[in-house]
């Protein structure tokens, strides 16, 4: 689909978050942006539409002879703006009232209220960003750690786009060659082109799969790793949550069964956002509320990326707890042998094999650093913490890349077959489909529905 050349309306929105602040910004973009500025802005000298791009002008926004606020107005001209259109940004005093009144005045002067993500959508339609870059804007706004923000910024700068673009170009070249071969009369087929194709296609498959593998890391950076604290009652799970957070979030008491509802909090470890969940102690009980809590705990357990399984080491390991532990994946579980100060009857040797353990005495805060280090080690299996942040794919990209990879494999099988020259029509079809899927990652091919889906997750004003 070609970019929509017929954007004729001008959109406006408050770009800053609601609430009290020093400044608020109203953004106006589209063909009438400067005209609307002239109608609403009163200042000395030339009207905004006659000002050079990149200038800030001081003045007042006036509507129906009433001054709404004293403002600074920034003039940007197409194509040198975020959206690629004529754009003005009005900086007014913070707080909701001035910004809302100015927005109203701008709408009265001919603009339309922007939909979520519509500025970035226009930037995409005007070729200022490709789709992967536009999505990076969303990731950057939502980034929960510095590492996540750095990865989003790399993607915005085009690191993912350029990898995908080169996969796209290689695929397009292979397709062009196959199509050219189809046009040759059989006897004149340039054998060397046909002979080199499987190797080239295989190389592209490797690139596609390498890129798709970064999803694991992307998922952790975007959504955060879900770390679930579980174990029998009264072993120190809530104590551990509080220590990790550095504040008294969950109630700690000597009464077994204190925690009922799941408690989720976020923190950042090694630049990776973590969602840490404290859960009700796992045990047989007749208490209805506690049982509801245990059901919730089990729900969290099933979707956890990482487990902290806490045990009281001053007591022997009961069969029930052993079974609970054995149900957790060893490679993603850290056993915390707590209450070392009470003397140890339970040691790492008593655990089912394959589980790594950390000894703590959380009441004194002892061993907390070891827990953090162990968490970091498990995370490192998913994210290369020593490598500088790089582009990582999202769920949408992974799906498309996997489809492209499967199509490329289909083509490869046909091209490697004994009478490959007879398979060229089918191989071309696979390559075309791979090309289309790869193109969707960066928006070389798109549909309105796809754009709606992506941009509706943005906030208004972005
Ligand atoms: N002696 C000793 N007591 C501890 C230690 N860690 C926690 N406790 C105590 O153990 C009791 C239970 O701690 P919690 O953190 O509430 O335990 P929990 O696992 O969340 O318990 P439930 O929510 O009931 O399942 C509290 O009285 C804590 O102060 C420790 O290292 N040594
Ligand atoms: Mg608790």
Which residues have beta carbons under 5 A from ligand 2 (an ion)?
A: 237-238, 258-259
Rounded CA-CA distance 88/74 in Å is 5
User: Which two structure tokens, joined as six digits, stand for 219?
Assistant: 């998922």
pLDDT, tens digit (0-9, with 9 covering 90-100), for 320-334: 999 999 999 999 999
The pLDDT of residue 312 is above 90: yes
pLDDT in tens, 369-391: 999 999 998 888 766 666 666 67
The gap between the terminal CA atoms of the chain, to the nearest Å, is 24
The answer, yes or no, to whether residue 171 has pLDDT greater than 90, is yes
| Predicted pLDDT at 389 | 65
Give the model's confidence band at 271: pLDDT under 50 very low, under 70 low, under 90 confident, else very high. Answer: confident
Handedness of CA 337, 338, 341, 345 (dihedral sign): negative
User: Does pLDDT of 1 surpass 60?
Assistant: no
User: What is the CA(333)–ligand 1 centre distance, in A?
Assistant: 20
Query: Does the pTM of the predicted model rise above 0.75?
Result: yes
**pLDDT tens figures, 347-361:** 999 999 999 999 999
Q: Residue 221 has what pLDDT?
A: 83
Distances (CA, A) of 150 to 147, 334, 375, 454: 5, 28, 22, 21
Give the mean pLDDT of the chain. 92
Is 230 strand, coil or helix?
A: strand
pLDDT tens digits, residue range 70-79? Answer: 999 999 999 9
Q: In this predicted structure, what is the pLDDT of residue 242?
A: 96
377 token code pair: 């080690």
Which of 363, 366, 367, 371 to mutate to test ligand 1, by most ligand atoms within 8 A of the CB atom? 363
Would you say residue 3 has pLDDT above 50? no
Question: 13-22, 71-80, 311-320, 384-393: lowest mean pLDDT where?
Answer: 384-393
At 133 the pLDDT is 94
Query: For residue range 394-435, what is the model confidence (pLDDT) as tens digits?
Result: 889 999 999 999 999 999 999 999 988 899 999 999 999 999
Per-residue pLDDT averaged across 114-137, rounded? 95
**Cα 335-336-340 angle, rounded to 5 deg:** 140
Residue pair 90/70 in contact (Cβ under 8 Å)? The answer is: no
Write down the pLDDT at residue 388. Answer: 65
d(CA 280, CA 287): 12
Give the dihedral of Cα atoms 49, 50, 53, 55; nearest 10 deg. -100
- Between the CA of 222 and the centroid of ligand 2 the distance, in Å, is 28
Ligand 1 pocket residues where CB is under 6 Å: 233-239, 252-254, 256-259, 281, 338-339, 341-342, 361-363
Confidence at residue 390, expressed as pLDDT on a 0 to 100 scale = 67
Q: Which domains does the chain have, with CATH numbers?
A: 11-130 (3.30.1360.120), 137-214+392-443 (1.20.120.430), 224-380 (3.40.50.300)
Looking from the CA of residue 255, the nearest atom of ligand 1 is 24
Of ligand 1's listed atoms, the one at least distance from the Cα of 366 is: 31
Distance between Cα 340 and ligand 2 center (Å): 18
The pLDDT of 141-169, averaged and rounded, is: 91
Looking at ligand 1, which atom is closest to the CA of residue 342? 1
User: Edge-to-edge strands of the sheet including 87-93?
Assistant: 41-43, 56-63, 66-76, 87-93, 23-29, 11-14, 112-113
pLDDT of residue 356: 93
pLDDT of 420 reads 87
DSSP state for residue 456 in the 8-state scheme: T
pLDDT at 2: 43
- If one residue of 231, 252, 346 were mutated to test the ligand 1 pocket, choosing by the most ligand atoms within 8 A of its CB, it would be 252
Where on the phi/psi map is residue 270: left (φ > 0), alpha (ψ -120 to 50), or beta?
left
Closest ligand 1 atom to Cα of 310: 19
- pLDDT confidence of residue 125: 95
Q: Residue 73 — φ and ψ, nearest 5°?
A: -120, 130
Region 284-298: what's the mean pLDDT?
92
Closest residue CA from atom 12 of ligand 1: 234
Q: Whose CA is nearest to atom 14 of ligand 1?
A: 236
Q: Which residues contact 141 (CB under 8 A, 6 or more apart)?
A: 458, 459, 462
The two three-digit tokens of residue 435, written as one number: 């090309």
Query: How far is the centre of ligand 1, averaged over its atoms, from the C-alpha of 255 (Å)?
Result: 9
Percent of the chain with pLDDT over 90: 75
């Amino acid at each position: 689909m070609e970019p929509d050349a017929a954007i004729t309306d001008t959109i406006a929105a408050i770009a800053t978050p609601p609430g009290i602040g020093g400044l608020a910004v109203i953004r106006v973009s589209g063909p009438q942006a400067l005209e609307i500025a002239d109608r609403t802005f009163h200042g000395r000298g030339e009207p905004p539409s006659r000002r050079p791009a990149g200038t800030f002008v001081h003045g007042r926004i006036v509507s129906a002879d009433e001054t709404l606020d004293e403002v600074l107005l920034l003039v940007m001209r197409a194509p040198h703006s975020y959206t690629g259109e004529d754009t003005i940004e009005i900086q007014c005093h913070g707080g909701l009232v001035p910004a809302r009144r100015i927005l109203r005045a701008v709408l009265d002067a001919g603009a339309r209220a922007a939909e979520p993500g519509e500025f970035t959508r226009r930037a995409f339609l005007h070729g200022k960003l490709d789709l992967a870059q536009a999505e990076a804007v969303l990731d950057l706004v939502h980034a929960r750690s510095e590492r996540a923000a750095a990865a989003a910024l790399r993607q915005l700068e085009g690191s993912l786009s350029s990898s995908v673009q080169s996969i796209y170009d290689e695929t397009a070249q292979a397709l062009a060659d196959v199509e050219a071969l189809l046009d040759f009369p059989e006897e004149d087929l340039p054998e060397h082109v046909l002979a080199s194709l499987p190797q080239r296609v295989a190389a592209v498959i490797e690139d596609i799969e390498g890129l798709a593998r970064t999803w694991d890391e992307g998922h952790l950076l975007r959504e955060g790793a879900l770390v679930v604290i579980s174990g029998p009652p009264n072993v120190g799970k809530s104590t551990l949550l509080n220590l990790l957070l550095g504040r008294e979030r969950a109630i700690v008491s000597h009464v077994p069964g204190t925690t009922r509802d799941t408690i989720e909090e976020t923190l950042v470890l090694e630049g990776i956002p973590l969602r840490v969940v404290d859960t009700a102690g796992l045990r047989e009980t007749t208490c209805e509320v506690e049982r509801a809590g245990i059901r919730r705990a089990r729900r969290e357990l099933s979707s956890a990326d990482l487990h902290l399984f806490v045990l009281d080491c001053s007591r022997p390991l009961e069969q029930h707890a052993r079974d609970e532990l054995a149900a957790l994946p060893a490679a993603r579980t850290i056993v915390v042998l707590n209450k070392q100060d009470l003397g140890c009857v339970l040691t790492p040797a008593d655990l089912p094999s394959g589980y790594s353990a950390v000894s703590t005495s959380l009441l004194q805060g002892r061993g907390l650093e070891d827990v953090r280090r162990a968490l970091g080690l498990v995370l490192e299996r998913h994210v290369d913490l020593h490598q500088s942040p790089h582009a990582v794919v999202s769920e949408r990209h992974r799906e498309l890349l996997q489809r492209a990879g499967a199509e490329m494999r289909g083509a490869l099988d046909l091209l490697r077959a004994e009478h490959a020259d007879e398979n060229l029509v089918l191989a071309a079809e696979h390559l075309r489909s791979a090309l289309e899927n790869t193109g969707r990652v960066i928006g070389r091919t798109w549909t309105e529905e796809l754009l709606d889906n992506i941009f509706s997750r943005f906030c208004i004003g972005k």
